[in-house]
Structure 1
Amino acid sequence: MTIIATLNSAEEEVVLQRFKKYSRDNCRELLEELVKCTKSHTVSIPMQCRLQNELVQECLKKHSTEAVRDAFREEELHRKREFLKANGKWPTQYDTK
């Protein structure tokens, strides 16, 4: 028998924040180029920075997949199980290891 642990809304928020940071970190250079472009233009930003924006969107899409989010969720579930075990709140008969 396996116990299925779920994440509460605060834990899901932690997962979401880590997921977003991961995506941004992987696209940092492209984001910096986009910011640089927007600082040098005003009204013409949509036209002048279109290429940079498209590159950023492609990069973020590449690094923001369901599989990546699921990996962050699994990591958080593992942390939660370890916390519960350390505090004696995880039944040992359900231990998967």
Structure 2
Amino acid sequence: MDRQTAEQLAKLLKAVADPARLQLLALINSSPGKSACACDLTQPLGLSQPTVSHHLKVLKEAGIVDREQRGTWAWFSINQSRLQQIAQALA
């Protein structure tokens, strides 16, 4: 693995290296259709809406989740190809 690849991988791993973000990914992945409204993610985690939004923003900026606007609600799904890139880089 070259230095540039290692740095990119480190940024991705840093984005998921938080218990709340790992929980968010698990919740999204277990949701019907593998997508979840941000509004439905606060209660299961016991976190405030601004805190959940912050964590989702970090995951989105890393390309780990995709965001789709549906009316007034933001829906998130996991970018499976990005997760596969992480797994392949670590293999």
Which band: TM-score by shorter chain? Answer: 0.3 to 0.5
- Which of structures 1 and 2 has the larger relative contact order (alpha carbons within 8 angstroms, sep 6+)? 1
TM-score (norm 1): 0.35
Higher helix content, 1 or 2: 1
Higher Cα Rg, which structure: 1
Higher strand content, 1 or 2: 2
